[in-house]
A and B are shown apart, each in its own frame.
Chain A
Amino acid sequence: MAANPIACASCGSGLCGGKGRETFYQGTWANNPISIQVLGICSALAVTTTLANSLIMGLALIFVTGMSNLIISLLRATIPRKVRMIAEVAVIATFVILFDQLLKAFYFSMSERLGPYVGLIITNCIVMGRAEAFALTNPPLLSVVDGLANGIGYAFVLAIIGTFRELVGDGKILGFTVLSEGWYVKNQLMILAPGAFIALGFLIAAFNYINARGQKAEAKS
């Protein structure tokens, strides 16, 4: 464990290397916020009509969960119990609005396409959940890992749904035509809201299948 002196100095437990890896694995896969906990699916369903939208939305969440976990973890000893959640929301809202403003300034067309959903990250259960469940009781560096991991877990599920919906619904990936209109009939259902539910349903089923197989294999060995 001494192989990772920087991490260990910051959390003091001497277990940061292993803990960090475990935290990352939990956030991105074993306890994935969307496919396992089924949190934050409002935005996951709404913005995944194209891959580009999904990627920017994922980036927003990685930024917000990472930064808010860091700040809340740093403040965790000082936050008064009575206003704990309000203080968390204040920190989260600051980063969300910051990202929204940056998007409006430097990627205006994307900001228009995502509409209110960037601002709505403030109420995304994943961000608040990580602050409550993790950042309040864990050291800063580990909290950042947890925040980033959950953001990445969210982003990669969104990316899969976004790719699927854009490909099936519009025959394109990142705006480039993949399935030619000459022979491919666009399935517009995938662009509409029901398509999002169907895609997410299949994805969660697939994830559960993979996990169940992994557990079976573990039980046998």
Chain B
Amino acid sequence: MKGNTYTIIYSAVLALVCASLLTLASVSLKPYQEANRKAKEQRTILRALGVKVPDYAGAEQLLEIYNRNVGETTVAGRTAYVYNHPSEGKVTAFRFAGPGLWGPIEGLLALKADMRTIYRMAIYKQEETPGLGGNIENEEFQGLFRGKQIVSPQGKAALDITLPGQAHAVNQVNGISGATLTGDKLEQVINKLIADIAAVEATGA
């Protein structure tokens, strides 16, 4: 029986020591990690709005560029990020967030002044399959959204991520081959935002 008591106490002490060490590390590193996440988010907002950012801008420089260029207002209970683009006019970006195939997807949809035409789409958080669904974070895919409309030719407020090569209408975007499910999830997440925007536009008009 002495053996069992020893085993239990030993395991408890070892677990306690390991857990304490990790808690200490986690607490002391948290500020740096938060700053990194925040910087990535800010960089994505700036990219979605088309604000020029130097490639190796540090966190402070990012914040300074952000504060100088981006205004924040509230539309439909969502934060809207507004930037007066020198050539595109007023650009408004909204965050979207929702479940992807494997984990949460978070990103931004930026619209031109007409609130119908997509200026840019950008994603800053996703956990989709690397090499397939994960490619939604690639600029190449995100570039397909530029200039698309969030309203179908029939007047329905919705974006459609199709099978690759099937995008013909103004509100359709080519999906990624091998990532149909991620495309469907992303479409749902973005359409939730589009529905909210459309509701406000309808009452505002």
**A residues at B contact (CB < 8 Å):** 78-80, 82-83, 86-87, 90-91, 93-94, 97-98, 101-102, 104-106, 108, 115, 192-193
Contact = CB atoms under 8 A, between A and B. Distances in A.
B22 interface: yes
A78 B32 CA distance: 37
The 7 closest A-B pairs by CB, nearest first: A105-B32, A108-B36, A80-B7, A105-B29, A94-B18, A104-B33, A105-B33
A83 to B, nearest CB: 5
B3 interface: yes
A98 B25 contact: yes
A83 B33 contact: no
Contacts, number: 53
Interface string B32-50: 1100110110000000000
Nearest to B40: A108
B10 A80 contact: yes
A80 B3 contact: yes
Dominant SS at the A interface?
A: helix
B14 interface: yes
Given A83-B7, A90-B18, 14 more contacts: A80-B6, A90-B14, A94-B18, A97-B22, A98-B22, A101-B22, A101-B26, A101-B29, A104-B29, A104-B32, A104-B33, A105-B33, A108-B40, A115-B130
A132 B7 CA distance: 19
Contacts of A108: 33, 36-37, 39-40
Given A80-B3, A94-B22, A115-B130, A101 B14 contact: no
Contacts of B37: 108
B21 interface: yes
Nearest to B19: A94
Nearest to A106: B32
A102 B28 CA distance: 10
B29 A79 contact: no
Most buried by B among A82, A86, A91: A82
Nearest to B26: A101
Contact of A91 (B18, B26, B130): B18
B11 interface: yes
Contacts of A93: 18
A86 B11 contact: yes
Contact of A98 (B7, B21, B33, B36): B21
B131 interface: yes
Contacts of A192: 131
A105 B36 contact: yes
30 contacts: A78-B10, A80-B3, A80-B6, A80-B10, A83-B7, A83-B10, A83-B11, A87-B11, A87-B14, A91-B14, A93-B18, A98-B21, A98-B25, A101-B22, A101-B25, A101-B26, A101-B29, A101-B33, A102-B29, A104-B29, A104-B33, A105-B29, A105-B32, A105-B36, A106-B32, A108-B33, A108-B36, A108-B37, A108-B40, A115-B130
